[in-house]
């Protein structure tokens, strides 16, 4: 027992993993990459109006402090000395936009989450100002003009929130994505906090030139964003500042990566052509393209993968983004009530064994890659009187897999060399039915690490490898071997293709529901634009819920 304790007393590295659904703090052994302890807190999402998604920045910050304190308590119970924690990395939900007062440290508005759709008319107005033969926004940023990215969210806040307008006029406002808000707050906040971001998060704002790796004046002028409120852009692995409070006061924060880049690092996809798919609130497939920007012809994004040190080269990636993956499970739990915990979805799906011809397109926030179709809305189709909640649960899992197939097909066409297997990670990968479905629908093996916390691991690796910390080697010969679980396709290729082609028909039926965008002010008349899918689901709820409501077992 004493030997086991001694084995974990080497340098340790912590990682804040701040996601859309929850916040976690995890501690790893830097020599073995072993996860020693962690704590998780679920984060509330607010939906003040149809299409709006917000979170409280103070709740997010408090959840980080709580997770750090609770994890340190757990480590003490394991007789692990927390003074061995030598660095902290930060991984975060990307694009989510925060504006705060640099003198008081108070947020000036709720965080506008990446899934939020209120800026659709802003996007439509801006798109009219981009010349058809010179899409300088996409050529500089690698991104399509979309509600997804931070610039349009920030533009909306500046246009609609008087408190923010006043703070900008008075030189009090700071803007950042969640990483910036956390690092500024953890390193002192109003008392000397460091206002910075890293290249991966900056590349998701639509204000950052991914070639020069700087904020771009032409882009800031186009979106009418004052450059004075932007954070300093740093590499993904360097000391930004020290923790100024709590159990880990004095520990350097020395790693910062947007969550999908962190997962790419945690999966050790350091070579050109290596790819991973993360199953979280959304679903994100990233392929490392090395030192070159590859621009997609099939609806994928070009983004910064990582830059692991001030003097280290930048790496780029192609990315396929799906808005709704794990969020559909949360929706079945919180909105429809057909499950009481997220884990129950696997049991229901196993009971059905098939969707029985039911297809679920969870386009709650429109369709992201490869369609970029904001007019789409969620539908459930192929219903019969035989359909029950088990079939809908199965169809929800299939939807995640079909969406992954779409972005993998686009990735294969852009890269020219089809992936022979898919490396996966994220919370949903613990669902074995989902993983088997994914292998069947892709018709290639799906490979999952036995330790699925690769997002946090990537942030920890970046932090531990930083100059001035140096407790985590990223040299290939020093990287720990990872045990993998493998899922092989178990259906024939023809059946896989039939199911996929039926899914594509369902997707086409989800497009064009919203013909006139609801007003950004949240006019109640938006009820008139609710998609048919809403009424299908409502009817389905009544059908599958009638026996429970009437008290029949």
Residue-wise pLDDT for 416-451, tens only, equals 778 888 889 888 888 898 999 999 988 889 988 888
Q: Which long-range contacts (CB under 8 A, 24 or more apart) does 516-522 make?
A: 517/120, 517/121, 517/124, 517/374, 518/50, 518/51, 519/121, 520/118, 520/119, 520/120, 520/121, 520/122, 520/156, 520/160, 522/48, 522/49, 522/50, 522/52, 522/118
DSSP per-residue codes, 104-139: T--BSS-EE-TT--TTHHHHHHHHTTS-TT--HHHH
Residue 383 burial (CB count, 10 A): 19
Question: Distance (Å, rounded) from C-alpha 488 to C-alpha 440?
Answer: 8
d(CA 321, CA 65): 30
Residue 3, pLDDT score: 44
**Joined tokens for residue 536:** 């299908």
Helix (H, G, I), strand (E, B) or coil at 484: strand
Yes or no: say if 438 and 401 are a contact pair by the CB < 8 Å rule.
yes
In this prediction, residue 416 carries a pLDDT of 76
Distance CA 30, CA 252 (A): 15
Distance of CA 409 to the CA centre of its chain: 21
Q: What is the pLDDT of residue 324?
A: 79
Q: Residue 158: is its pLDDT beyond 50? A: yes
Residue 524 has pLDDT above 50, yes or no: no
In this structure, the number of other CB atoms found within 10 A of the CB of residue 160 comes to 14
| Domain harbouring 138, CATH code | 3.30.420.40
The answer to whether 223 and 205 have CB atoms below 8 angstroms apart is: no
**Backbone torsion region of residue 25, taken as left when φ is above 0, otherwise alpha when ψ lies between -120 and 50, otherwise beta:** beta
- Euclidean distance between CA atoms 375 and 504, whole angstroms: 16
Are residues 368 and 324 in contact, defined by beta-carbon separation less than 8 angstroms?
no
pLDDT band at residue 482 under the 50/70/90 scheme: low
| Residue 430 within any structural domain of the chain | no
Residue 526 counted as domain residue: no
Helices vs strands, H then E, count in the chain:
17, 23
Q: Does the pLDDT value for residue 391 go beyond 50?
A: yes
Distances (CA, A) of 62 to 65, 105, 224, 281, 495: 5, 13, 32, 21, 49
Per-residue pLDDT of 27-71, as tens digits, reads: 999 888 889 999 999 999 999 998 899 999 999 999 999 999 999
Residues contacting residue 249 through CB under 8 Å, at least 6 positions apart = 242, 243
Q: What is the pLDDT of residues 217-243, one digit of tens each?
A: 999 999 999 999 999 999 999 999 999
Per-residue CA distances from 28 to 42, 269, 345, 428, 463 (Å): 21, 19, 30, 21, 11
pLDDT of res. 66? 96
As a 3-state breakdown, the chain gives helix, strand, coil percent values, each rounded to 5, of: 40, 20, 40
With a cut of 70, say whether residue 545 has pLDDT above it. Answer: no
* Average pLDDT over every residue of 111-140: 86
Token readout for 287 is 């392929």
Distance CA 287, CA 274 (A): 6
Q: How far apart are CA 398 and CA 403, in angstroms?
A: 9
**Dist CA 237 CA 90 (whole Å):** 10
Which band of pLDDT confidence, cut at 50, 70 and 90, is reported for residue 281?
confident
Q: Answer whether residue 46 is part of any domain.
A: yes
Residues 169, 360: Cα–Cα separation, whole Å: 47
> Model confidence at 548, in pLDDT bands (50, 70, 90)?
very low
**Model pLDDT for residues 299-320, shown as the tens digit of each residue:** 899 999 999 999 999 999 999 8
Evaluate whether residue 173 is within a structural domain. Answer: yes
Q: What is the DSSP track for 254-323?
A: EEEEEHHHHHHHHTT--STT-EEEEESSSEEEEEEEETS----SSS-EEEEEE--STTSPPEEEEEEEES
485: helix, strand or coil? strand
Quote the pLDDT of residue 357. Answer: 86
Give the span between the Cα atoms of 230 and 51, in whole angstroms.
26
Which pLDDT does position 368 carry in this prediction? 84
461: its two tokens: 């690796």
Q: Compute the average pLDDT of residues 369-377.
A: 85
Q: Which is more confidently placed, 526 or 300?
A: 300
pLDDT of 2 over the 80 cut: no
Give the pLDDT confidence of 320-341 residue by residue, as tens digits.
888 778 888 888 898 888 888 8
Six token digits for residue 482: 């990872």
DSSP line for 194-247 = --EEEHHHHTTTTSEETTTTEE-HHHHHHHT--GGGSPEEE-SEEEEEE--SST
Average pLDDT, the chain: 86
Q: Is the pLDDT of residue 546 over 60?
A: no
Number of domains within the chain:
1
Residue 248: pLDDT over 60? yes
User: How far apart are alpha carbons 129 and 136 in whole angstroms?
Assistant: 11
pLDDT of residue 9: 62
How would you class 141 by CB atoms within 10 Å of its CB: exposed for 0-12, middle for 13-18, buried for 19 or more? Answer: buried
pLDDT higher than threshold 50 for residue 541: no
Domain that holds residue 200: 12-258
The answer to whether residue 191 sits within a structural domain is yes
pLDDT at 551: 39
> Cα-Cα-Cα-Cα dihedral of 297, 233, 255, 201, to 10°?
-30
Residue 519: per-residue pLDDT:
44
Task: Report H helices in 315-421.
Answer: 326-331, 344-352, 389-415
164 domain-assigned: yes
Distance CA 126, CA 122 (A): 6
> pLDDT class for 527, splitting at 50, 70, 90?
very low
Separation of alpha carbons 465 and 550, rounded Å: 60
Q: State the Cα angle at 177 between 121 and 210, rounded to 5°.
A: 85
Identify the residue with better confidence: 5 or 408. 408
Q: What is the structure's pLDDT at 522? A: 41
Query: Taking every pair of C-alpha atoms in the chain, what is the biggest distance, in angstroms?
Result: 69
């Amino acid at each position: 027992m004493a030997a086991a304790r001694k084995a974990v007393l080497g340098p340790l590295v912590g990682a804040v993993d701040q996601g859309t659904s929850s916040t976690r703090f995890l501690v790893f052994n830097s020599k073995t990459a072993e996860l020693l302890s962690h704590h998780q807190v679920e984060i509330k999402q607010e939906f003040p109006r149809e299409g709006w998604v917000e979170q409280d920045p103070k709740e997010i910050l408090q959840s980080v402090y709580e997770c750090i304190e609770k994890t340190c308590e757990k480590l003490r119970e394991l007789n692990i000395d927390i003074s061995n924690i030598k660095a902290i990395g930060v991984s975060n939900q990307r694009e989510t936009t925060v504006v705060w007062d640099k003198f008081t440290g108070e947020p000036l508005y709720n965080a506008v989450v990446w899934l939020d759709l209120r800026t659709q008319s802003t996007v439509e107005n801006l798109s009219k100002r981009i010349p058809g033969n010179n899409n300088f926004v996409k050529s500089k940023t690698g991104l399509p003009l979309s509600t997804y990215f931070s610039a349009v969210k920030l533009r909306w806040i500046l246009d609609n929130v008087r408190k923010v307008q006043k703070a900008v006029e008075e030189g009090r406002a700071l803007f950042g994505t969640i990483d910036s808000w956390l690092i500024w707050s953890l390193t002192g906040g109003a008392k000397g906090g460091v206002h910075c971001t890293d290249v991966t998060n900056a590349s998701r704002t639509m204000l950052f030139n991914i070639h020069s790796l700087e904020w771009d004046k032409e882009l800031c002028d186009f979106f009418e964003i004052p450059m004075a409120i932007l954070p300093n852009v740093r590499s993904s692995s360097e000391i930004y500042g020290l923790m100024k409070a709590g159990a880990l006061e004095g520990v350097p924060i020395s790693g910062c990566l947007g969550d999908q880049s962190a997962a790419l690092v945690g999966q050790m996809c350091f070579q050109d052509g290596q790819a991973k798919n993360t199953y979280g609130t959304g679903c994100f497939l990233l392929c490392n393209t090395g030192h070159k920007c590859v621009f997609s012809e099939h609806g994928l994004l070009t983004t910064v993968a990582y830059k692991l040190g001030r003097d280290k080269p930048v790496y780029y990636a192609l990315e396929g983004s799906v808005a709704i993956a794990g969020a559909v499970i949360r929706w079945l739990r919180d909105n429809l009530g057909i499950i009481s915990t997220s884990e129950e979805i696997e049991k229901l799906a196993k009971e059905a064994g098939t969707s029985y011809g039911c297809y679920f397109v969870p386009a709650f926030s429109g369709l992201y890659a490869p369609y970029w179709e904001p007019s789409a809305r969620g539908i459930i189709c192929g219903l019969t009187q035989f359909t029950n909640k088990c079939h809908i649960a199965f169809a929800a899992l299939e939807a995640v897999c079909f969406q992954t197939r779409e972005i993998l097909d686009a990735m294969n066409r852009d890269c020219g060399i089809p992936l022979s297997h898919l490396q996966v990670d994220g919370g949903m990968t613990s669902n074995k039915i989902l993983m088997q479905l994914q292998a069947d629908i892709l018709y290639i093996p799906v490979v999952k690490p036995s330790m699925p916390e690769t997002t946090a691991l990537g942030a920890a690796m970046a932090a531990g490898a930083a100059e001035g910390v140096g407790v985590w080697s990223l040299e290939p010969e020093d990287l720990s071997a990872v045990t993998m679980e493998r899922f092989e396709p178990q259906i024939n290729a023809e059946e896989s293709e039939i199911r996929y082609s039926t899914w594509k028909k369902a997707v086409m039926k989800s497009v064009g529901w919203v013909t006139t965008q609801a007003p950004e002010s949240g006019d109640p008349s938006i009820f008139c634009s609710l998609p048919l899918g809403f009424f299908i689901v409502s009817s389905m709820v009544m059908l599958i819920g009638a026996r429970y409501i009437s008290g029949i077992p």
